């Protein structure tokens, strides 16, 4: 199963001929079952002892592991290139928190974070880890010279970046960032939510820990909340320990839904990339649009990096409405969003539906107005996550709403 599309369908599934409970099955389900049991029994207490002690593979208690959850984890680990183990969590933020703990962000340490980081991740670092004595410093990770200088200056424990940033869609040069980070003995943590393993596998490019909000593209249908961390030694042992102790494990039903969604990731992501490219191309010359952000556009600052490191341009587009009066920008953005008929107004992304949001009042709401302005998250900025509808219908809806903005 070398090809990505084939692994997406088959990885993690149990196949005939394997023994289950000591007896060979005469039949088997072709869909991974939902194992809702909180506790697992064994033929003898000696077996239970070995399983709890880690001497024998198996399941004992729901907080330690579950067959349905493990199947999803094995599938995702395969899609990430089998460079480490995958650990599923109840949300993307829970996964991010665990990843940062695994990177040993302890009192007195410093973490270097991308300026272009998701607002809640930045808040997690500053407020939660800050309260624990961790100092967070920010840097423009698309300026490799600045990153190198900052790493030398602060000697961080970890560097935290995103494959494709939110909402301006800047593309990080993961191989170069890994080289800079490792030279300083630090850990590179990459949020690959926007990229997914379909577009990039950061562990193959030198990253140490990869995080996903599986709520988004991986599951893809807007019907579950989940997160995943993928990492090899020594981080995998720390992740397993954190999950057991803190108890943020993904529930079996959500794991089943996520695994079902994972099987169509290549089909969905391919279509979403095509739709986003088509929408961006049409918006570039629209009189009511001042600026378009999409890595496939030749004037995008990271166009070359995207072509070199991504297997597609991504399924998101962000753009600024052409409104000169700053006092009217939010009003115009709200008017545009309220005029949409096909596109769904919702603060998420990666679904089969096309979703549209106002980043300043959603994903970056927790940041101060001044910080949003420095990051380029303006009041007239719109982000659209393209779904799998026909691209002409998406474009028509957006163009119709623009006339009313």
Residues noted as catalytic: 63, 118, 191, 216
Report how far residue 173's alpha carbon sits from residue 404's, in angstroms, rounded to the nearest whole number: 39
Report how far residue 355's alpha carbon sits from residue 338's, in angstroms, rounded to the nearest whole number: 12
Q: Please name the residues in contact with 49: beta carbons below 8 A apart, sequence gap of 6 or more.
A: none
Report how far residue 188's alpha carbon sits from residue 203's, in angstroms, rounded to the nearest whole number: 10
Report how far residue 227's alpha carbon sits from residue 215's, in angstroms, rounded to the nearest whole number: 7
Report how far residue 134's alpha carbon sits from residue 107's, in angstroms, rounded to the nearest whole number: 5
Q: How far apart are the first and last CA of the chain?
A: 49
- Under a CB-based contact definition with an 8 Å cutoff, are residues 207 and 189 in contact? yes
Return the number of other C-beta atoms located less than 10 Å from residue 295's C-beta: 27
Report how far residue 372's alpha carbon sits from residue 357's, in angstroms, rounded to the nearest whole number: 15
Task: Estimate to the nearest angstrom the gap between the alpha carbon of 44 and the chain centroid.
Answer: 41
């Amino acid at each position: 199963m070398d090809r990505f599309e084939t692994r997406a369908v088959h990885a993690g599934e149990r196949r005939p001929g394997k023994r289950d409970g000591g007896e060979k099955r005469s039949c088997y389900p072709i869909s991974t079952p939902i194992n809702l049991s909180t506790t697992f029994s064994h033929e003898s207490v000696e077996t239970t002892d070995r399983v709890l002690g880690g001497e024998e593979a198996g399941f004992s208690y729901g907080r330690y592991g579950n067959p349905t959850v493990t199947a999803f984890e094995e599938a995702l680990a395969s899609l990430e290139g089998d460079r480490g183990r995958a650990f599923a969590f109840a949300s993307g933020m829970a996964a991010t928190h665990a990843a940062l703990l695994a990177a040993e962000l302890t009192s007195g340490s410093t973490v270097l974070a991308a300026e272009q980081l998701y607002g809640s991740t930045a808040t997690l670092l500053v407020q939660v880890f800050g309260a624990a004595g961790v100092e967070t410093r920010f840097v423009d990770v698309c300026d490799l010279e600045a990153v190198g200088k900052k790493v030398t200056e602060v000697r961080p424990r970890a560097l935290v970046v995103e494959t494709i940033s939110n909402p301006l869609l800047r593309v990080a040069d993961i191989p170069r960032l890994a080289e800079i980070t490792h030279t300083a003995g630090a850990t590179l943590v990459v949020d690959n939510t926007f990229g997914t393993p379909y577009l990039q596998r950061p562990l193959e490019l030198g990253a140490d820990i990869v995080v996903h909000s599986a709520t988004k593209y991986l599951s893809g249908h807007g019907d579950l909340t989940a997160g995943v961390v993928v990492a090899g030694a020594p981080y995998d042992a720390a992740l397993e320990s954190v999950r057991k102790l803190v108890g943020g494990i993904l529930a079996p039903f959500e794991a089943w839904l996520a695994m079902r969604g994972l099987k169509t990731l290549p089909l969905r992501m391919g279509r979403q990339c095509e739709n986003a490219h088509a929408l961006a191309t049409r918006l570039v010359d629209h009189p009511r649009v001042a600026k378009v952000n999409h890595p496939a556009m030749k004037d995008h600052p990271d166009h070359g990096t995207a072509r070199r490191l991504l297997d597609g341009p991504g399924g998101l587009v962000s753009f600024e409405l052409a409104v000169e009066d700053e006092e009217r920008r939010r009003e115009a953005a709200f008017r545009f969003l309220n005029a949409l008929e096909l596109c769904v107004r919702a603060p998420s992304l990666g679904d089969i539906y096309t979703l549209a949001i106002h980043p300043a009042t959603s994903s970056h709401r927790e940041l101060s107005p001044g910080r949003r302005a420095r990051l380029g998250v303006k009041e007239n900025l719109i982000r659209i996550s393209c779904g799998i509808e026909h691209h002409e219908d998406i474009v028509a809806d957006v163009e119709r709403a623009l006339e009313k903005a």
